[in-house]
Amino acid sequence: MSDMLCDLREIRRARYAVAAVFAVHGAVTGSFATRVPWIQEHAGLSAGQLGFALAFTAFGASCSMPLAGRISHRFGSRTALRGLIAMWTLALVLPSLAPNMLTLCLSMFVYGASAGMADVAMNALGVEVERLLDKSIMSGLHGMWSAGALIGSAGGTLAAHLGADARVHFALAAATLTMLGLVACTWVLDLQPAEDEEPPPRFALPPKSALLIGAVGFCAVFAEGASLDWSAVYLRDQLETSAGLAAACTTGFMLTMAVARLVGDTVVNRFGAVRTVRIGGGFAVLGGVLIVLAGHPAVAMAGFALLGLGIAVVVPLCFAAAGHAGPNPSQAIAGVATITYTSGLIAPGLIGGVAQATSLVVSFVLVTVLACGLAAFAGVLRSGERGRKTVSPPTAVVPDPRP
């Protein structure tokens, strides 16, 4: 790594820059999630077919995430993130262009692959900044992701309410978010490998330290993916609401996640990761029960909001624990991300398959049961807290953040 000294102000600038990248990444997801009913109708898919196609998102992410560390090693963290975030924002357009299930599956694979690589790269940079500042920031960074997702979903809700064509909506959103993402990358840390540093493998099994941490993330990502992809469909089909109100349910889910993550670092610093996740699991289970028993849209929307509140800080804490548990944050984060995104791979198809065979109500019974796993496995997050390294911010050795 570069031997140039960087003061606290420059480290904070890098923190704000990577936070902006998180927000851009989230805005793409939020934009997409609210238009899933439009995409389903445009491609002429049943619930089961839609679930199968959506599964390719996580499949693409799981296949591509191990490559992120090698790309960052080859090009440096800043250049790699620029390319990956632009690939992700532009991939938003693809699902809206798909006229059938085959093309939607291919589109979702590319969409997921670009999302996964950008996700690993920005989380690895977040862990490095957290080490330099010597305090928890990962929940706040993921809070910015949720805030971006909220903004994207608000735009999607408005577009759905106005009956706008998703192809036009996505094209405008992709162009705007690409520009914002490239600007934000100007000030992220530009980490370069040492001359004698071996490049990470193209593909590698997750390290042992990632397995139990990934189990916690698995439960949370399953609930998150199910809610993002199916909450609007749930209200539209199960409770017969309008497209605008259905999209607003997704927005409410993202709102509670955003608020919880933005204050999450304060909560975690006070109560600890384990207790925070266990309490969150209780909220998630309560939310799942409300969704399953809902006879009115307001009850279901409250349930999705509680579910979002309960799972909000789980994934940030999993990534933080992985990043602090070993000497190679990118590889460890990729390992945990691969496990957790496997949950995303399973969730859409399983939710759709169960819904096709029974109903969406039964599908969310499964989500509620898995939410119980947050309390059961939360104890493994202690290892990440104990493994955190202390670095003095004013004298930390980091690269020059200037372009």
Give the pLDDT means over successive 10-residue stretches in the chain (403 positions): 59 94 95 92 91 86 85 91 97 96 96 93 90 86 88 90 94 97 94 73 64 88 87 89 86 83 88 90 94 92 93 90 71 80 74 87 92 87 53 37 34
pLDDT, residue 38, reads: 94
Q: How many CA atoms lie within 13 A of 10 on its CB side?
A: 17
pLDDT, residue 300, reads: 94
pTM of the model: 0.78
162, exposed or middle or buried, with CB in 10 Å at 0-12, 13-18, 19+?
A: exposed
pLDDT, residue 301, reads: 94
pLDDT, residue 306, reads: 93
* 387, 388, 389, 395 alpha-carbon torsion, rounded to 10°: 180
pLDDT, residue 298, reads: 92
pLDDT, residue 383, reads: 53
pLDDT, residue 371, reads: 92
Nearest CA-CA partner of 262 in 323, 312, 333, 314: 312
Q: How many CA atoms lie within 13 A of 375 on its CB side?
A: 13
**Distance (Å, whole) CA 282 – CA 369:** 11
pLDDT, residue 209, reads: 67
Neighbour tally for 186: CB within 10 Å = 13
